[in-house]
């Protein structure tokens, strides 16, 4: 029998890409998603079960009907600014609902979990690049919520033998190279789709929050990692757990950073359109530079990004933008 994998949040951006790749790799996939941020038509393979992690009865029914070999958990609230305004909501969804999932897994004997974590658990970095030994010092409820789940997972490993891999994304970006899937956040908060929407005429301009950072051009530098490379890391993490290896946490990035102005210049080159820029004051809590050290994932998982070039990342995102969101 094919291994059966539960994908929680599989109708969302990274989850939907992972569902498709798992199906191509001959896994049996079940998606559990409340469709609050995901899209039914983004689930291109497997079975979709519409439900919410807050609903313990729905979870119990899901695990009673299916025997899962592993779970991948993508479902969470992800907007840093919103987490500052609604911290209780973020802890309830990202922590409380994850506990519901963990309890259902333990009750039904499912002992492998891949968790979508984030570079936000590191807060303001004390050194660059940021590797797994960097102190965890979140500066917002979103980062704290992910850090808390990592601690809960470690405790459940010791208490119940629940083995996990926490994958700490830096800046997820891009789209499926064939234009099948891409970003559809509402509201959109990620830089590359915002810039492309400005290039397409769907926005009048793109705002740059802070132009006086200690970086080569004064704007923030980030490590952009292609969504398909994140998907590959998930499949490798799944193989890691299926082989009986221990729980682990991996930072995922290209180990190179690009400034906001660099992203805009590449977007203009890809689209052939000028992007109007508005310089704005800094946002509270934005570090000047966030770049991953991902040598551990490369060594342990054999992971190697296929699309480290910013031009490829933007080009794939532009293909999706033109296909699914034409200019207004």
How many Cβ atoms from other residues are within 10 Å of residue 38's Cβ? 23
Mean pLDDT per 10-residue interval, the chain, length 328 residues: 95 98 97 96 97 97 97 94 93 98 98 97 95 95 97 98 97 96 90 95 95 96 97 98 98 96 98 97 88 97 97 97 68
Residues 302 and 137 sit within 8 Å (Cβ to Cβ): no
Give the closest residue to 134 by CA, choosing from 304, 251, 215, 302: 251
Tell me: do 127 and 261 sit in the same domain. no
106 and 179 housed in the same domain = no
Q: Contact at 8 Å (CB) between 142 and 136?
A: no
Q: What is the pLDDT of residues 269-289, one digit of tens each?
A: 999 999 999 999 998 878 899
Number of domains in the chain: 2
Indicate which residues carry an active-site annotation.
Answer: 142
Range of the domain at 209: 175-222+255-300+307-324
Length of the chain: 328
> How high is the pLDDT of residue 189?
87
Looking at residue 328, its pLDDT comes to: 44
| CA-based R_g, the chain, Å | 19
- Share the mean pLDDT of the chain: 95
Task: For residue 36, give the nearest of 8, 58, 65 by alpha carbon.
Answer: 8
CATH number at residue 139: 3.40.50.720
Give yes or no: residues 197 and 241 share one domain: no
* Cis geometry, peptide bond prior to residue 85 (ω within 30 degrees of 0): no
Mutual angle of helices 191-199 and 310-324, in 10-degree steps: 60
Q: Are residues 152 and 236 in the same domain?
A: yes
| pTM of model > 0.85 | yes
- Based on the fold, state whether residues 143 and 275 are members of the same structural domain: no
One domain, residues 105 and 183: no
Nearest to 237 by CA among 107, 138, 145, 117: 117
Listed in order, strand segments (DSSP E) in the chain are: 4-8, 28-33, 47-50, 70-73, 112-118, 163-169, 171-173, 206-209, 221-222, 224-226, 248-252, 258-259, 277-280, 289-290
Same domain assignment for residues 165 and 235: yes
What lies within 8 Å, CB to CB, of 293 at 6+ separation is: 129, 130, 131, 132, 251, 253, 255
Q: Tell whether 63 and 160 lie within a shared domain.
A: yes
Provide the CATH number for the domain around residue 214.
Answer: 3.90.25.10
> By C-alpha distance, which of 152, 120, 150 is closest to 137?
120
31 contacts 43 by C-beta, under 8 angstroms = yes
* 243 plus 264 within the same structural domain: no
Q: What pLDDT was estimated at residue 326?
A: 54
Same domain, residue pair 28 and 80: yes
pLDDT tens for each residue of 145-192? 999 999 999 999 999 999 999 999 999 999 999 999 999 988 888 999
Per residue in 6-21, pLDDT tens?
999 999 999 999 999 9
pLDDT recorded at residue 287 = 87
* Collapsed DSSP state (helix, strand, coil) of residue 116: strand
Nearest to 26 by CA among 225, 267, 235: 235
Does residue 166 sit in the same domain as residue 216?
no
Predicted confidence at residue 325, as pLDDT, reads: 60
Query: How many Cα atoms occupy the beta-carbon half-sphere of 58 within 13 Å?
Result: 12
The C-alpha atoms of residue 285 and residue 210 are separated, in whole angstroms, by 12
What's the rounded Cα separation, in Å, for the pair 159 and 103?
Answer: 12
SS3 content of the chain, % helix, strand, coil (to 5): 40, 20, 40
Please indicate, yes or no, whether residues 26 and 40 belong to a single structural domain of this protein.
yes
């Amino acid at each position: 029998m094919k291994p059966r994998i539960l994908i929680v949040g599989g109708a969302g951006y990274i989850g939907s890409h992972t569902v498709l790749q798992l199906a191509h790799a001959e896994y049996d996939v079940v998606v559990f998603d409340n469709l609050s941020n995901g899209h039914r038509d983004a689930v291109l393979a497997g079975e979709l079960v519409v439900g919410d992690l807050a609903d313990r009865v729905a979870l119990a029914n899901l695990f009673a009907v299916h025997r899962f070999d592993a779970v991948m958990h993508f479902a969470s609230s992800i907007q840093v600014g919103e987490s500052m305004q609604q911290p209780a909501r973020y802890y309830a969804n990202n922590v409380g609902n994850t506990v519901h999932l963990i309890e259902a897994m333990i009750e039904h004997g499912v002992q492998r979990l891949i968790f979508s974590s984030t570079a936000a658990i590191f807060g303001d970095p004390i050194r660059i690049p940021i590797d797994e030994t960097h102190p965890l010092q979140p500066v917002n409820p979103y980062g704290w919520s992910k850090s808390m789940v990592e601690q809960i997972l470690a405790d459940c490993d010791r208490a119940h033998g629940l083995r996990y891999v926490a994958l700490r994304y830096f800046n997820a970006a891009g789209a499926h190279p064939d234009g099948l899937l891409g970003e559809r956040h509402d509201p959109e908060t990620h830089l590359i789709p915002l810039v492309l929407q400005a290039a397409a005429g769907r926005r009048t301009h793109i705002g740059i929050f802070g132009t006086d950072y200690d970086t080569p051009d004064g704007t923030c530098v980030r490590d952009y990692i292609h969504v398909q490379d994140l998907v590959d890391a998930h499949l490798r993490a799944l193989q890691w757990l299926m082989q009986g290896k221990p729980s682990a946490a991996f930072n995922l990035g290209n180990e190179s950073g690009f400034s906001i102005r660099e992203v805009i210049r590449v977007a203009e080159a890809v689209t052939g359109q000028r992007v109007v820029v508005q310089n704005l004051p800094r946002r509270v809590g934005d570090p000047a530079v966030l770049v991953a050290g991902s040598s551990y994932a490369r060594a342990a998982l054999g992971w190697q990004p296929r699309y480290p070039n910013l031009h490829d990342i933007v080009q794939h995102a532009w293909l999706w933008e033109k296909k699914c969101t034409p200019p207004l």
